[in-house]
Amino acid sequence: MPYVQVGKENTGSVELYYEDRGSGAPIVLIHGYPLTGASWERQVPSLLESNHRVITYDRRGFGRSSQPASGYNYDTFASDLHELLGHLKLKEFALAGFSMGGGEVARYIGRYGSKGVTHAIFLSSVPPYLRKAADNPEGVDGGVFDGIGKAITADRYAFFTAFYRDFYNADVNLGKRVSEEVLRMSWNVAAGSSAIASLACVPTWGEDFRQDLARVDVPALVMHGDSDRIVPFAAAGARTAKLVKGARLVVVKDGPHAIIWTHPEIVNPELVKFLGT
C-alpha cells in the first residue's frame, strides 16, 4: 500500500495513505469528516472513465493514515497535501474538497499559491468562514461548535450516530438515496478514526478562509445542497461562490451535506464537465 511520510512524532513517522489510479489529467480528491478517501467511491469511476488520473488520500488521524497526537489544523493539513503533491511529482492538477476538504483546497492555495492548480472545486465545503463573529454575522453561532465538542467528549460513538442522520438527511433520504448499510459503513469508518483527531478537527471548521479564497485565481466550481444540515448553504457555499471571482455555482435541490453519495447523477456530470473547461 502506498504511503508518503509527512512528519515525525517521537520515534515514529507520520504517514498518509493514498491511492493513485488511472491516467490523464490528475485530480486530487480530499475527503470530509469523519471519513476517508474511500468516501469518493461514487465519483472515482466517472472520473476514470473521463480519462483522469484520480488520487485520493486519508487525512492524518483518519483511515489508514497515521494517528498522531497533533497537527489537526489547516496549516498542517495544507502542508500534508503539499508533501503528497511533491511526492507524486504532480505539475498540473485539479483539487477537489468535500466538506472539511474544501478547507484544504482554500488553505493550500492561500499558502502555496495556485501554481500547478488547474481547477479548484468546493463540494459542501466549510469556507469561507463558518463561525459567527463581529465581522462575520452570516456565520454559525460558536455555541454549535462547542456543543459538538462536548458531545464527542461525552460519547463520540453516540455522536457519530446522530451526526450521520443529518449528514445524509436520513429522515428524508433513507431507503431512497441512502441505505441503512451506508449509514452503518459510515459509522464504522468514523469509529476507526483517532479519538484525538475526531475532537481536534471540530474547531477548524470555523476557521476564516476569506484571505485564502482571495488567492484563488483558477477556474472554480462550488457545489452545495440547499438542504445541508451540517454546513448550511447560505453560510458557506453561497458565500464562497461570491468571494471567488468567476466561480461557477451549482445548487443541488434538496441536497443534504453528503451530495457526493446521495446525488452522484448531478455531482459527477458537473465535475466531468467542469474539468473539461
Nearest to 90, CA basis, from 23, 36, 7: 23
Is 193 noted as a catalytic residue in this protein? no
Cell readout for 158 is: 453516540
63 neighbors 36 (Cβ within 8 angstroms) = yes
Q: What CA–CA distances, in Å, run from 204 to 59, 77, 127, 146, 199?
A: 14, 11, 11, 12, 10
Peptide bond into 2 cis (omega under 30): no
Helix, strand or coil, per DSSP, at residue 48: helix
Cβ count within 10 A of residue 184 = 12
* Residue of 65, 66, 79, 99 marked active site: 99
Is 99 noted as a catalytic residue in this protein? yes
- The upper half-sphere exposure of residue 26, i.e. CA atoms within 13 Å in the direction of its Cβ, equals 17
The pair phi, psi for residue 29, each rounded to 5°, is: -105, 125
* Residue of 65, 79, 228, 263 marked active site: 228
* Residue of 31, 52, 119, 257 marked active site: 257
Is 257 noted as a catalytic residue in this protein? yes
Positions marked active-site:
99, 228, 257
